[in-house]
Structures are given as structure tokens and as C-alpha cells.
Amino acid sequence: MENIIYLDNAATTRISPAVREVMEPYLDGFYGNASSLYSLGRESAKALHKARADIAEALNCDPREIYFTSGGSESNNWAVKGAAALMKNMKTQGKNHIISSQFEHHAVLHVLLALEKFGYEVTYLPVYEDGVVRVEDLQSAIRPDTGLCTIMQVNNEIGTIQPVAEIGALCRERGILFHSDAVQALGNIPLDLSALNADLVSLSGHKIHAPKGVGALYINKKIRLAPFIEGGAQESGKRAGTENVAGIVGFAKAVQEAVSGAEAKRAALLPLCEKLYKEIMKIERVHLNGDMEQRAINNLNFSFEGIEGESLLLMLDMAGICCSSGSACTSGSLDPSHVLLALGLPHEIAHGSLRISMSKYTTEAEVDKLLEALPGIVNKLRQMSPLWERITKG
Ligand SMILES: *Cc1c(COP(=O)(O)O)cnc(C)c1O
């Protein structure tokens, strides 16, 4: 699959050579269980200890605040369910109201829907046409019984950046727990866990060139979250199960690379982002989804009038180009993306969307190949589209 042009890095990424290299010994010789007392097990325990310390150093927090999980979805589930349980008891007793946004990842939104069935009340803040939550809206949504706010840092479908540090500061001032899904922020925009004013932050490995199935939840040391998986004493007794040592070692390397390489990545991708924008906007009746300025520049999402996103993806695939119509979790269903609907796009335009997401491995030649193929494909699909005929004939 070497000649594939991969522009779907918000869905997942390839493993970096350095990540693979540090994992290798733990897939092979050092297979001991980290809870065992003999030296083979102690090697694994040492590796876990170092991985936690390395991540804490790269993201500016205490190693005791990093809990390894199976990825972003688990971290989001643990954070939101755990915080919802916490706000019912302790100091915050009796609090029943949660604030979130309309375009969170499904691993947050579906948990909130389940909590609503249990009697919690949830306010979903609007994100407007630019795809950005307003702090003033949060301020007016806060009630005396608000116990939790969960807002993502960078949206995975359209790449817009949310004012999370301000949101966190406001929540802290009002005694509200604050969780942020930072899966798409890591490696794309600066991430400093101590400056974020957050109690809980979700991270995932496979979006930053580590393997799938590993991630972390940052839990501020002032917060006492209940265990998510009961069983053994792993992860300070809060997340039982024999640790994915190789995956965690790879994840730590990927976090270090993401942080140290963030500036170089930005410098390399900025001209590619600008080129994509400039060239694609030349196509007739195309819209950029989300604000161009408040954006993680690895991610651009466009809507083409008169086109089905699925057909567009299939034609691009035939040209050897991998893109997405939005969230991997939504494809396979015919419902338009909840993110694009939250921006206020009509259904028929939300259907014709294309997400282009780059990584540090993306080259200008790859971007050029997409730009060569795209206008012809759009044109061909429009020629076959009764919807397009209706649009152009007014
Ligand atoms: C991918 C993603 C997740 C889910 O992470 P997994 O590790 O795949 O479970 C959660 N939130 C955002 C914003 C994502 O992009």
C-alpha cells in the first residue's frame, strides 16, 4: 500500500519508526507481567514508570495524574461517567446539570444521552457557523446545580479550536468540574495540561503515530474519580487489567515526538493547508466548514453542493486517495454528520462533505495529486446528479 495517498489522519495515523523501535523489545524479549516480582516483570514495571514520567514531562503535569487506558473513547467514558457520579456526592452534592456542546465526539455525546435517561439534565451549547463555542453562552448556561462541563479542544471533523483555557478558568471559578477531549489537539496545537484549567483530559495514541488501543486520561490530583475497571491494582487501583506495556511505551514515545515536533509540523503543513484552501475554493459552489483562523491546520473540511460525500470518497479511493466524509464513526450510516448539522448546514449540503486531514508525513506532492484529481471527480459526479441540475437551474 506504499503508493496510497493518505489524507485521513484524523481517523488514524501510521506508526512512526521511532515508536515501533521502542516498542520492539516489549513485544519480544521483555514480555513479563509488570505486577510480577522477578526481574523480567520488573523490566515491564520500569518501562511503565518511565512512560508515565515522560508523558507527564512532555505535557507538564504530575506523573500520578496520568492513567493509561485503551484510548480516547475509554478516556471520555471514564471522565464523563466518573465526573457525573462525583457531582452527585461529596462537596458538590446534589448537582444534576451538565454542560457540553452540540458537536462533541460520540464517545462523549452518547454517554451524555445515557446520563439523560438516568435523570441528569444536559445543555448542549451551540457552535454557530464558525464551529466555535462561545464562553458567554457557557456563562449564561451555568446554573446553581451545574456540576460538570465537557468541551473538546479541537473538533475531529472540522478542526476548529475551542477556547478551553477560558472555559476551564470559568468552571474553576464556579466550582464546576471540567473535562476536555484533547485527542485532536495533541501534536496539532500546544497542549499544556497545567495551563488548561482542566480536571480531566482525554488523549489517544493512534491519532499521533502510536498503535491503536492505547491512550490516557489525565486526572487532576485534586479529583477523586472512582475506578473505571474493577479488578487488580493496576493504575493505582483505578483501571484494572494487565497493562499494554508495548503500546504504552510506544504511546509515550509518540507523545514526546508530537510535542517536540509540533512546531516543525506546523511550519510544514501551513503552506499545504493554504494551498488546499486556495485551490479547492476555486471549485464552484464549495464551502469551507468551520472558521479558517481558529483551526488546527492539519484538518480542512469542505462541502460540495449537489454531491454525495460517499460517492466522492469512492471515486477518490479509485484514484488511490484516502479521505473521509467526516467522522469514521458516522460513515456507514446515511445520517448526515451531527457536527455539520450543528454548524447549521442544510442536510443536502452536509451530505456532500469531504474531510482532508494531514500528518507530519504528508507531502506537497500528495496534496498536488489530490488537487489534480478532485475538480474532475466533483464535475463528473455533478453531471450525474439530479440535485445539481436542480441547484444550477435555480
Ligand atoms: C478518535 C477520537 C476519539 C476516540 O479515540 P479512540 O482512541 O479511537 O477511542 C475521541 N475523541 C476524538 C476527538 C477523536 O478524534
Among residues 234, 260, 286, the one where a domain terminates is 260
**Considering 218, 233, 260, which residue would you say is the last residue of a domain?**
260
pLDDT band at 326 (very low <50, low <70, confident <90, very high): low
We report the CATH number of the domain holding residue 327 as 3.90.1150.10
86-97 per-residue burial string, b: 16 or more CB within 10 A, e: under 16: bbeeeebeebbb
pLDDT of residue 91: 52
Q: How confident is the model at residue 172 (pLDDT cuts 50, 70, 90)?
A: very high
Q: Residue 291's pLDDT is what?
A: 96
- The residue-averaged pLDDT of 275-279 equals 98
The verdict on residue 7 lying in a domain is no
Asked if the structure places residue 1 within a domain, the reply is no
From 61, 171, 322, 329, active-site residue: 329
Counting from 1 in the atom list of ligand 1, the atom nearest the Cα of 76 is 10
Taking all residues of the chain, what is their mean pLDDT, rounded to a whole number?
94
Mark whether 303 and 319 lie in a shared domain: yes
Q: Is there a domain that residue 4 lies in?
A: no
End-of-domain residue from the set 260, 284, 311: 260
The reply to whether 183 falls in a domain is: yes
> 348 and 306: one domain?
yes
Interatomic CA distance for residues 55 and 60, integer angstroms: 8
- 323 among known catalytic residues: no
Q: Does the pLDDT at position 334 exceed 80? A: no
CATH of the domain at 52: 3.40.640.10
Domain housing 329: 262-393
- Say how many Å lie between the CA of residue 352 and the centre of ligand 1: 23
Q: Would you say residue 346 lies in a domain? A: yes
* Domain assignment of residue 2, yes or no: no
31 and 80 within one domain: yes
User: Is 154 a member of any domain?
Assistant: yes
* Percent of the chain as helix, strand, coil, to the nearest 5: 40, 15, 40
Q: Is residue 6 part of a domain?
A: no
Q: Which residue of 108, 109, 161, 183 sits with most ligand 1 atoms within 8 Å of its CB, as the best mutation to test the pocket?
A: 183
Q: Is the pLDDT of residue 323 over 70?
A: yes
Distances (CA, A) of 339 to 128, 141, 354: 11, 21, 13
Q: Is the pLDDT reported for residue 328 higher than 60?
A: no
| pTM exceeding the 0.75 threshold for the entire prediction | yes
Are 326 and 252 part of one and the same domain? no
Q: How far apart are the first and last CA of the chain?
A: 44
Mean pLDDT value of segment 341-356: 91
User: What mean pLDDT comes out for the span 152-176?
Assistant: 97
Q: What is the mean pLDDT of residues 51-76?
A: 98
Domain match, 172 and 245 both:
yes
Closest C-alpha to ligand 1, atom 4: 72
310-315 LR contacts (CB < 8 Å, sep 24+): 311/381, 312/352, 312/354, 312/377, 312/378, 312/381, 313/354, 315/377, 315/380, 315/381
Task: Give yes or no: residues 271 and 348 share one domain.
Answer: yes
Q: How confident is the model at residue 90 (pLDDT cuts 50, 70, 90)?
A: low
Tell which atom from ligand 1 comes closest to the C-alpha of 75: 9
For ligand 1, what atom is nearest to the CA of residue 152? 13
For residues 221 and 249, membership in a common domain is answered with yes
Nearest CA to ligand 1 atom 8: 72
Q: Which residues line ligand 1 (CB under 6 A)?
A: 71-73, 76, 105, 107, 152, 156, 181, 183-184, 204, 206-207, 215
- 268 and 254 in a common domain: no
Residues 12-63 pLDDT 10s? 999 999 999 999 999 999 999 999 999 999 999 999 999 999 999 999 999 9
Same domain, yes or no: 235 and 107? yes
Give yes or no: residues 202 and 304 share one domain: no
Pair 144, 26 in one domain: yes
User: What is d(CA 177, CA 82) in angstroms, rounded to the nearest whole number?
Assistant: 11
Domains: count for the chain: 2
47 and 71 within one domain: yes
